[in-house]
Amino acid sequence: MEATTAPAPYVRRESLLRRAWNWLREHAINIYAGFAIAYLLIPIAVIILFSFNDPAGKYNFTWVAFTLDHWKSVFSISELNSALLTSLRLALFATVIATAIGTLMAIALVRHRFFGRRTANFLIVVPMATPEIVMGASLLSFFLILGTPTLGFSTLLIAHIMFCISFVVVVVRSRLIGFDRSLEEAAQDLGANAFQTFRLVTLPLIMPGILAAALLAFALSVDDFVVSNFNSGTTVTFPLYIFGAAQRGIPVEVNAVATILFVGTLIAMGFTVLQQRRAERLAAVRPPQEAP
């Protein structure tokens, strides 16, 4: 369009230049986005690549040679193994408890109008807007002054449940808001009591939301460093092991474990997405005339 305004004798050359320029202008944002995505992915590639490195010294910062040795011995460092097991155990407990009580909270907030609802919403938002270090430090102050429980697995569990709850509520709530309540009414018309309606209609339909929330809680817990750093006592989780090992050189096996965790999360997320699609199909199965 703009090329038509060019002086007549230079039309051919100008239009070629202009075409290139216009192409660049049109795609500039895509090219920029491409660089941004490379920026996001390169460190992940580096993590995976350096799990195959054969470093010269104890520091795994310079590429030396390709080897599979550290993948063969991935579970041979006993401290790393026990840290991983602690992390997984902690995340499992924290996820189950936080998902259960967070889901109840989400149901209360979406389904009921009651006095104190705004305060409850506020109570859920504030922990997500608080820097982790303040959360960790205040909880440590609390345990220090009370003198109980002793810092360790139990205080870690308390802390992890605490910071997971808000995220569970937010995820489950978004699923509940888009919920078609006529399905529940239909169940009740057919003679189901409140509990049966919940178990047989509501729960299966919000299950993908609960699963997504649980996955998020699990990921947050396994990955947490800051709050754990403050409240772990002598208990060592996977991130705390890495932090401790940083001074004396982090073993290459850590990169292999990080790669395994990465792939594991990918698979779990793929599974959740499939579940979500399935539930959407289930919810869509009803005569069109019933749609509002």
Partner 1 sequence: MAGRRRLTPYLLLFPGAAWLIVFFVVPMYYMARLSLDSGTLETGFRFTWQWSNYGDALTLYQDPFIRAFEYAGAATVIALLIGYPLAYAIAFRGGKWKNAMLFAVIAPFFTTYLVRTIAWETILSDQSPVVSFLDSIGLAPGGHILATASAVIAGITYNFLPFMVLPIYASLERIDPRLIEAGKDLYASSRAAFVRVTLPLSAPGIIAGTLLTFIPAAGDYVNAFFLGGTNNKMIGNVIQGLYLNVRDYPAAAALSFVLMAVIMIVVFVYIRFAGSESLMGEEGARA
Helix axes 153-177, 117-128, angle to 10 degrees: 120
Query: How near is the Cβ of 216 to partner 1 at its closest, in Å?
Result: 9
Helix, strand, or coil (residue 53): strand
In the bound state with partner 1, the residue whose beta carbon lies nearer, of 11 and 134, is: 134
Measured CA to CA, the distance from residue 269 to residue 152 in angstroms comes to 30
- Least Å distance between CB 290 and partner 1? 27
CA distance 109 to 121: 8
Residue whose tokens read 């303040």: 134
Shortest gap between Cβ of 169 and partner 1 (angstroms)?
7
- The alpha carbon of 84 is separated from its chain's Cα centroid by a whole number of angstroms, namely 18
- Binder among 238, 251, 253, 279 for partner 1 (CB under 8 A): 238
Cis peptide before 149 (omega within 30 of 0): yes
Pick between residue 39 and residue 292 the one whose CB is nearest to partner 1: 39
54 counts as binding partner 1 under rule CB under 8 A = no
CB contact at 8 A, 149 and 139:
no
Q: Which of residues 111-170 bind partner 1 (CB under 8 A)?
A: 111-112, 114, 117, 120, 123-124, 126-127, 129-135, 137-142, 144-146, 158-159, 161-162, 165-166, 169
Q: Which residue number, 205 or 222, has a Cβ lying nearer to partner 1?
A: 222
- Nearest Cα neighbor of 206 from 130, 150, 115, 282 is 282
Q: Which of 68, 266, 274, 284 binds partner 1 (CB under 8 A)?
A: 266
Position among 77, 258, 282, 283 found at the interface with partner 1 (CB under 8 A) = 258
Q: Is 135 in contact with 127 (CB distance < 8 Å)?
A: yes
Residues within window 192-231 making contact with partner 1, judged by CB under 8 A: 219, 222-223, 225-226, 229-230
Q: How far apart are CA 133 and CA 135, in angstroms?
A: 5
Residue range at the interface with partner 1 (CB under 8 A); choices 8-16, 185-193, 253-261, 282-290? 253-261
Least gap, CB of 291 to partner 1 (angstroms) = 22
**274 scored as a contact of partner 1 (CB under 8 A):** no
**Per-residue contact track with partner 1, 59 to 98, x per CB under 8 A?**
-xxx------------------------------------
Tell which residue, 250, 224, 252, has the closest CA to residue 239: 224
CB 279 → partner 1: shortest distance, Å? 18
The Cα-based distances of 268 to 5, 273, 278 in angstroms read 56, 9, 15
H/E element, 280 = helix 253-284
Is residue 160 within 8 A of residue 221, CB to CB? The reply is: yes
How many residues in the shown chain lie near partner 1 by CB under 8 A?
A: 79
The residue among 10 and 262 lying less far from partner 1, judged by its C-beta, is 262
